[in-house]
Structure 1
Amino acid sequence: MSARVLRTTLAALLTAALVAIPGQADAADSKVSGGRLDWGLKTSFQNYITGPIAKGEYRLTGGAATAGSNRFRFHSATGAYDPGSGDFTAGYSGGVRFTGHKKEGGDYELDLLIANPKVEIAGGGGTLYVDVTTPAGTSHGVAFADLGVGGLDTSGGTTRMELSDIPATLTAQGAKSFAGYYEAGTELDPLSLTADMSADKPDTKPSTKAGDGEFSGAAVDWGVRRTYREYVVGDIAKGSWSLTEGAQDGGALFRFGEGKGFWDARKKALDAAFTGAITFTGQGLDLTLTGLGVTVAKDKGTLTADVTSAGATTEDVPLVTFAAKLSEKDGLVRLDETPTVLTAKGAAVFGGFYPAGTDMDPLWLAVPVKSGAELPPLPDLGEDVAATQPPASIAPAAASSEVDADGFMPAAYWIVAAVALAAVAATVLLVRRRRPVPESTVTEEKE
């Protein structure tokens, strides 16, 4: 199929890339199926949360991932696109929970979950909607930010849309999510997205079988640990990872499939072995995990793997444990986003960078106990961004200070912040001690 890349320059230098379908300007609406949205909310807010005043963290949930410095990646776009008008809607999955100012008893004065962003572009304007959860409850579909898309022409038909560095401005409704400490009109971080149309999406559903307690076609999804992945590709290890033997990469999760084993419905016990391998390489790093297995008995589960490091292989190493109350629904025995904890032997696999008892990435498990049961999909990041000519993008935003002029400052901390800011700025600039693997200041969401 011939393709052309359309670029439309906005006043704000926003650009779009559309892989066009000749002759489809008047075609019926297309469905959006797959793609990613990268957005950091507001860099100064992130810095404040993880800084010395709030002493907080952010956690990822629903398969969300990080995408480089200060950006979160949301996945599995669904929506619609009208080639005639250019109207476009895409909703993405995943969330980020920010907590800070921990109180006695374990609660937080600041507790904010931003999830399931949705972008709507119509009539020359654009809006970003999100689900917002605070201790007071959840508000769905909050019109959180106005998007600077004036002048963007998305009509004409496309199999794939890319929008890069879309300016975002906080709305009055969005400002309420920050208890008024950011005013309406505040500039947020720009966002970028891709969205694939469903016409060319292949059917990749795996076959599943079950009978007399035996099953095949199961899958286990696990990301190891987000900070470990960031360490591997970061400035210290300068490495990468590769997937072989059928393992898949879902952004925040790796899927190991073709699981076979036995399910004891009476005892709620499970024994499963999966295919797939992942290899992490970098400076001073060569680690392969393969032959993953999951056993569950008496509501406790263990994830094992064959571990190869420095040329030596150790089989069936228990990496993490997890709570596992198993039950059947829709022909599947499932665990969704289950917290995992590193074992002592697992700690040795990672060179002692993480001590035993460290929270690792959550785990998903899907075991077909009825033939033909459909496995849940991995996060769908859409087609490879490099598969088409990349759009130009606006210059990156200037680096934010620890707390900038419009930074998030709860009223109770104004006095403390005023005294501390000068020292904080000096400390951030002058004292930056690198550790081999980041501490767990920033962790993933646990249910």
Structure 2
Amino acid sequence: MTALRSRTLTRGGLLLATATATALALTAPVTPAFAQEGPGQQAIGLTDGTLDWGVKESFRRYITGPIAHGSATAADGAEATESGFRFTGGTGSYDLATHAVDTEFDGSVHFVGHGGLLDLKLSAPRVVTEGTEGTLVTDVTIAGETTEGVEFAELDLTGVAPGSGEGGALVFADIPATLTAEGAEAFSYNGTPMYAEGTALDPATLTVTPETPGGEDPGGEDPGGEDPGGNDPGGNEEPLGSVHDGTLDWGVKESFRSYVTGPIANGEVELTGGATEIADGYRFPGATGAYVAETPALDAEFDGAVRFTGHEGALDLSFSGLAVDIEGAEGALIADVSSKDRETGEVSAYQDVVVAELDVPEGALTPDGDVITLEAVPAALTADGAEAFAGFYAEGEALDPVTVTVALTEDADLPANPADPDGSGDDTPGGPAPQGGAAGGALAATGGGSDTAALLGAAAALAAAGGAAIHLARRRTTTHTP
């Protein structure tokens, strides 16, 4: 038996818009464009964009298959790819006031089948987003008659995190797309819609590059005397802003670890995905994310998972996809949590739970040698964390403090790993673990075929300068285990 429930939590939610603002902060030579905005500056240009979208894979197969005996032709700046089509030449804007993104692309794709009776052409696609919602707009031509500006698909950016591309581009991969009522009407054959409103279309991948403010020469041959910082701001070195590596050290709660591995629960701790045991808990590696100095704000996620089991399987609790979302002195520790009800045996999988509130010291997000270190930040259990924690502890309960270290450049020096509990300093996973200690190996599914081993990473964009409304939907899937 499976149930699905949604609820709003506090977590970064302006994915595309704030990530674009972040990129602008990182590409400006000295001060980010959105910090320089004047009375006449309302938008920042986006250029060199691409849109990868296959419309609908099953439709492509149908058109070129033995029933329709047709073809799908990309033209006018679009090209066929292994997964569909790529539309190029994207240009548009990022609105400084509303955080909206509007980008239009060149290209068309023409579907013809059934000896020309099915004749559908989609051209000049455009992606418009605001917050976590978006629309894919396109011109639709059916049998030679064109309708411009059809809102063809709705885009959901709720769980989409930005990646990096060539030349400072932002890449938003696999954005879920669903057919609109207007799209269903246009997506027809002999006047009959081929798919209903709400049908899942192929996901879209959006790539955009913010234009560099000020042009090639913002103020003459030498606008600022000697080069600030001693480096060429237009050179190949990547500016601060991206998180390249780092670790999160957290022991969950010392008393809970002792209870699980002690004589009462007689259980063990299992680490996977690169997580390792350290003297005061566990280390989660592989930090990725972004940093904005002006706010200041840090959003970083980490690899690895930890699973606690005890009482002959009646106790089963896992944390994975750990992330921190910090703005100024306020922060949150976020994780995907799987827990088993000790009485009913139900396994509940919670995604993107704000497990703990972090009390971040003033100035803690100031880099030192391209490294940010948050040392032993106090963490207090939230109400949602208490629920996901299977009711072991109440809201406000002190958890183990959180230590975060992230590198803002590829060559930044991170501190060495602390020694393991046995003092060996060897944190290589795998191999036998002490009795009742952390064990390597695959993280097992916890009931009813619900594989909670998957690291359901929780990536979100930064709330850039000026702050942003923070929203995230938490999904809870409950599977009964006999």
Compute the TM-score of the two structures, normalised by the length of structure 1. Answer: 0.41
Larger radius of gyration: 2
Compute the TM-score of the two structures, normalised by the length of structure 2. Answer: 0.38
